[in-house]
Amino acid sequence: MIYPESAHFTSEGELYLGGIPACQLVETFGSPLYVVDEATVRRNCRYYTDTLKSIWPHHVVLFAGKANLNRGLLNLLSEEGLGLDVVSGGELYTALHSTMVPENMVFHGNNKSEEELVSALQHAICLVIDHEDELDTLIRLTQARQISATVMLRIKPEIEAHTHDYIKTGHIDSKFGIDKDSIVAIVKRIQACPLLTLRGLHSHIGSQIFDTLPYRDLATIMVGHMDKIRQECGIVLPDLNLGGGIGIQYVLSDDPPLISDYLTQMCEALKAACMHHQFPFPRLLVEPGRSIVGNAGVTLYTVGATKHISGIRDYLFVDGGMADNPRPMMYQSNYTFCLANKNNLPFDHLYTIAGKYCESGDILAKDVALPAVKKGDVLCVFGTGAYNYSMASHYNRCLLPAMVLVGNQSTKVLVKRDTYDGLIAHDCI
């Protein structure tokens, strides 16, 4: 599960992606280069849709756009029957210029601007209310424009998922969501607003999670909140969004659950909770991001210089780094590497892989075993389909890589490579 579905090596040690040599992709599209395998994206979508069709037919799979978002990718996901979760005006604008349909979108965020809220209202996008101040703003905007809104409430489930502190979102001390003691009062406020329709509850416990137990607990807790709303507010909410966050395998030691196992266990708990409370089965919404695109993507770099520091380490320098993949610096993330043009040779050298940026911390990995490298070799980093392009920057005024989709020995450019003219296009003299 680390490699894309179409990845394979020839007996000469050459990596192919989508039926095309990785080195040829670099020659054609430049380096660094994001590559997305179409077969893997479609397969991962179907892990969700096929499993849920059999165990919870009334469902919607919403791709978490923050993982990787561009129009071409959204069109592909739309073909697979997925909707979309957006968290900014820019993501929404991109989605509205794809084949994604507004009724299959939701808009999250803890500090949506009035401009973003108005845009969502104009396109009838379901808004996930994060706190009471946002509700105040939404009431004012809908009344001023006499426009209706469909909303959900994001609830803090108060679950500690075992993941990096920066990507925990369900615990009580999180910037996201409404605490349980405020739910009923906020629901009653929404009920008093004729222009607002409360569709359901939303929750999310974090990202890169390997344990299924928190999802079972989440389903149980959230049905309890829905039952309390039924008892105290007299309404049966039809939708329950249990978020996403299931992890993927970046290195051999990672052991995430199968998507089908995670969904099955979560739905078993959801069914049991509904039966316990005699609550009608809701429409289930889930929001996978990383598990749809993470292992579908790789990044290709060209090796530059190497530097030997006697008795300490050998550095391998690549033509990218922290600006196209900030995750090692932010989350201490690990990846799997190979040389795309000599994978048949012994992995008998240890390298610290360093980027080109003017930061000592611009290190993609330490002590990676590889064949002996030379300038011009192509280094492949697997598992970069999520949160690499979407978190990339122009640090040091470097250009963002292109992104290409591969499959069946063909390519489609999803994102063009930056140009220097484009880099200065918004500068004002």
Q: How far apart are CA 183 and CA 173, in angstroms?
A: 17
In angstroms, the Cα distances linking 381 to 49, 103, 177, 209, 297 are: 28, 36, 35, 21, 9
Q: Which helix or strand (DSSP H or E) is residue 49 part of?
A: helix 38-55
Dihedral sign, Cα of residue 232, residue 233, residue 235, residue 237: negative
Q: How far apart are CA 41 and CA 253, in angstroms?
A: 23
Phi–psi pair at 355, nearest 5 degrees? -85, -175
- Strand runs (DSSP E) across 136-268, as ranges? 149-154, 196-202, 239-241
Burial class (CB in 10 A: 0-12, 13-18, 19+), 427: exposed
Give the residue carrying structure tokens 């129009």: 71
Q: Which residues contact 271 (CB under 8 A, 6 or more apart)?
A: 281
**Both tokens of residue 3?**
């490699």
| DSSP secondary structure, 278-333, as one string | T-PPPEEEE--SHHHHGGGEEEEEEEEEEEEETTTEEEEEES--TTT--HHHHH--
Strand order of the β-sheet with 8-9 is 8-9, 15-17, 20-21
**The CA-based dihedral angle spanning residues 193, 195, 107, 88, taken in that order and rounded to the nearest 10 degrees:** -100
Catalytic annotation, residues: 358
For residues 107 and 83, is the Cβ–Cβ distance under 8 A?
A: no
CA 220 to chain CA mean position, Å: 25
> Of 288, 290, 211, whose CA–CA distance to 242 is shortest?
288
Q: Which residues contact 398 (CB under 8 A, 6 or more apart)?
A: 323, 356, 357
